[in-house]
Amino acid sequence: MKFHLPIAVRKKYLPISIIVILLMIVALSGYLSSAGDRETSVRILIDDCGGKVVFSHLAHQNDYKISCVKCHHEKGGDQADYIACGLCHPVAFDKNYIEKHKNYFPDKKTCVRCHHLEFFKAGFEHSEHESYASDCTDCHHGSDIEPEPQACKSCHLKTEGENIPNLQDATHDCCMRCHEDIFEKGFKGCSDCHAEKDMNKFKGLYSSCLRCHQVKKIKKLMPTRTDAFHKQCLSCHKELKKGPFGENSCNKCHFK
Ligand code: HEC
Ligand code: HEC
Ligand code: HEC
Ligand code: HEC
Ligand code: HEC
Ligand code: HEC
Ligand code: HEC
Ligand code: HEC
Ligand code: HEC
Ligand code: HEC
C-alpha cells in the first residue's frame, strides 16, 4: 500500500528541500575548491631562530612537483587547512610553549596529533590473584603501613608525594614482581593491561607525555624547530640529489 502525503504537507516540504539542495551545492563547491584553487604563499620567510631562510614554497609545489602531504604530514588529504610547522615544532617545548600552545590549533583533531593516547584503568582480577600469591603482603604493605589491605589509590595519588611513589609507579612495581615478561615488551606490553581510549572522543585532561614516555626531554620524541626543518628539507634534497644539502650548502639557505 502506498502512502500519500496530503498536498498541504508536501508543499511545506518543498522550500526545505530547496534549502537542503542549495546547502549541498555550497558545501560541495567549498570541498572541491579548497584543494586545487587554494592560493599558497609564493615564498615564506622562516625566521624564528637564528638565520633567516627564504623558502620558495610555490616553486616546490609547482616546478618541482612535490605534493602538499609530502611536507605537511599533519593531516591526510590535500584539502586540509595546513598550519605552520613551527606551531608543532617550536624552538623548544618550554614553559612558554606549554602554557600557550592550546590557543594555536584550530580543533581537537590537531591536539590529538600529539596527545595521542590515554589509557582506561588497568584490568585486574583481584580474587584470582589472591590464589596466585602466597600472601596478601605479596602486593599490599604490612600492617605498619597498611593497617588493613585497601585500594592502592587511597594513599598513592596521581602525582608522587614527598616519600611516596605515584599510583602508576607503585602499582607497576607490584605487577612487575610477577609480570616482568610483559614489561620487558616495553610499549608493546602496555595493552596487555590497559585498554586504549578513543582520543577523538576523549573529554578529560591530557596526560603529560612524560607520564608514559620515560624520557626527561620531549625533544627526544618530538623534533624541535631546527631538527624538523633540517631533517625534512635536507633529507629530500639529499635523496633526490637536487637542492642544497651537505656541508657547504649552509649559505644557499641561510643569510643574515
Ligand atoms: C617542500 C615542502 C612543502 C610543500 C610541497 C608544501 N609546503 Fe606548505 N609549507 C612548507 C613550509 C616549510 C611552510 C612554513 C612553515 C613554518 O613557517 O613553520 C609551509 C607553510 C604553509 C602554509 C601556512 C603558512 C603560509 O604562509 O602559507 C600553508 C597554508 C601551506 N603551507 C599550504 C600548502 C599547500 C596547500 C601545499 C600543496 C599545494 C603545500 N603547502 C606544499 C612546506 C611545504
Ligand atoms: C599538527 C602538528 C604538526 C605539524 C603542523 C607538523 N608536524 Fe612534524 N611532526 C608532528 C609530530 C606529532 C611528529 C612526531 C612523529 C609522528 O608522530 O609522526 C612529527 C614529526 C616530524 C618529523 C620527524 C619525522 C621523521 O620522519 O623522522 C619531521 C622531519 C617533521 N615532523 C617536519 C615537519 C615539517 C617540516 C612541518 C611543516 C611542513 C611539520 N612537521 C608540521 C606534528 C606536526
Ligand atoms: C605539537 C604537539 C602538541 C600539540 C599539537 C598539542 N599539544 Fe598540548 N602539550 C604538548 C606538550 C609537549 C606538552 C607538555 C607535556 C609534558 O609536560 O609532558 C603539552 C601539554 C598540554 C597540557 C598540560 C599543560 C600543563 O599545564 O601541564 C594541556 C592541557 C594541553 N597540552 C592541551 C592541548 C590542547 C587542548 C591542544 C589542542 C588545541 C594541544 N594541547 C595540542 C604538545 C602538544
Ligand atoms: C601488568 C599490568 C600493567 C602493564 C603491563 C602496564 N600497566 Fe600501567 N598501570 C597498571 C595498573 C594496575 C595501574 C594503576 C591503576 C590504574 O589507574 O589503571 C596503572 C597505571 C598507569 C598509569 C596511570 C593512570 C592514571 O590514571 O593515573 C599510566 C600513565 C600507565 N599505567 C602507563 C603504562 C604504560 C605506558 C605501560 C606500558 C609501558 C603500562 N602502563 C603497562 C598496570 C599495568
Ligand atoms: C597480586 C597482588 C595482590 C594480592 C596478592 C592481593 N591484593 Fe588486594 N589489591 C591489589 C590491588 C592492585 C588493589 C587495588 C585494586 C583497585 O584499586 O582496583 C587491591 C585492593 C584491595 C582492597 C580494596 C578493594 C577496594 O575495592 O577498595 C582490599 C580490601 C584488598 N585488596 C584486600 C586484599 C587481601 C585481604 C588480600 C590477601 C588475601 C589481597 N588483597 C591480596 C593487589 C593485590
Ligand atoms: C595506607 C597507605 C598506603 C596504601 C593503601 C598503599 N601504600 Fe604503598 N606506600 C605507602 C607509603 C607511605 C609508602 C612509602 C614508604 C615506604 O617506602 O616504605 C609506600 C611505598 C610503596 C612502594 C615503594 C616502596 C616499596 O615498598 O617497594 C610501592 C611499590 C608501593 N607502595 C605499592 C603499593 C601497592 C601496590 C599498593 C596497593 C596494593 C599500595 N602500595 C598501597 C602507603 C600506602
Ligand atoms: C604474585 C604474582 C602476581 C602479581 C604480583 C600480579 N600478578 Fe597478574 N597474574 C599472575 C598469574 C600467576 C596470572 C595467571 C597466569 C598468567 O596469565 O600469566 C596472572 C594473570 C594476570 C592477567 C591476565 C593475563 C592474561 O594473559 O590475560 C592480568 C591482566 C594481570 N595478571 C594483571 C596484573 C596486574 C595489573 C597486577 C598488578 C596490580 C598483577 N597482575 C600482579 C600473577 C601475579
Ligand atoms: C598514556 C600513555 C601515553 C601518553 C600520555 C603519551 N604517549 Fe606517546 N606513545 C605511547 C605508546 C604506548 C606509544 C607506542 C605506540 C605504538 O607503538 O603503537 C607511543 C608512541 C609515541 C611516539 C612514536 C615514537 C616512537 O618511539 O615510536 C611519539 C612521537 C609519541 N608517542 C609522542 C608523544 C607525545 C609528544 C606525548 C605528549 C603530548 C605523548 N606521546 C603522550 C603512550 C603514550
Ligand atoms: C620533498 C622534497 C623537497 C623538500 C621536502 C624540500 N625541497 Fe627544496 N628542493 C627540492 C627540489 C626537487 C629542488 C629543485 C632543485 C633543482 O631543480 O635543481 C629544490 C630546491 C631548493 C632550493 C634551491 C632553488 C630554490 O627554489 O630556491 C632551495 C633554497 C630549497 N630547495 C630550500 C628548501 C627548504 C628551506 C626546504 C624546507 C623548508 C626544502 N627545500 C624542502 C625538493 C625538496
Ligand atoms: C635546505 C635549506 C637549509 C640548509 C641547506 C641548511 N639549513 Fe639550517 N635551517 C634551515 C631552516 C628552514 C631553519 C629554521 C630557521 C628558523 O626557524 O629560523 C634552519 C635552522 C638552522 C639553525 C637554527 C638556529 C637556532 O638558533 O637554533 C642552525 C644553527 C642552522 N640551521 C645551521 C645550519 C648549518 C650549519 C648548515 C650547513 C651545514 C645549514 N643550517 C644548512 C634550512 C637550511
Q: How confident is the model at residue 13 (pLDDT cuts 50, 70, 90)?
A: low
Q: What pLDDT was estimated at residue 75?
A: 63
* Site residues for ligand 9, CB cut-off 6 Å: 53, 55-56, 59-60, 64, 66, 70-71, 229, 232-233, 236-237, 240, 242-244, 252-253
Of 32-46, 78-92, 144-158, which gets the smallest average pLDDT?
Answer: 32-46
* Residue 244: per-residue pLDDT: 95
The pLDDT tens digits of the residues spanning 50-79 come to 578 999 999 999 999 998 889 998 765 444
Q: List all residues 6 or more positions away from 64 whose beta carbon is below 8 Å from its beta carbon.
A: 242, 243
Decide if 74 contacts 110 (C-beta within 8 A): yes
Non-local CB neighbours of 132 within 8 Å, separated by 6+ positions: 178
Pick the ligand that lies closest to the CA of residue 149: 5
CA angle 243, 246, 248 (to 5 degrees): 95
Residue, of 4 and 213, whose pLDDT is higher: 213
Burial class (CB in 10 A: 0-12, 13-18, 19+), 117: middle
pLDDT per residue as tens digits for the range 32-53:
333 344 567 888 988 766 578 9
The pLDDT confidence band at residue 255, using thresholds 50, 70 and 90, is confident
Per the prediction, the chain carries an average pLDDT of 83
| C-alpha span between 59 and 32 (Å, rounded) | 23
In the chain, % of residues over pLDDT 70: 81
CA 152 to CA 106: how far, in whole Å?
39
Alpha-carbon distance 115 to 135, whole Å? 40
Kindly calculate the radius of gyration of the chain based on its CA atoms and give it in whole angstroms.
Answer: 28
Which residues 6+ apart lie within 8 Å of 219 measured at CB?
A: 92, 93, 227
User: How many whole angstroms from its chain centre is CA 109?
Assistant: 8
Which residues form ligand 3's pocket by a CB distance below 6 Å?
A: 88, 93, 98, 101-102, 105, 110-111, 113-115, 205-206, 208-210, 218
The cell numbers describing 180, all together, are 616482568
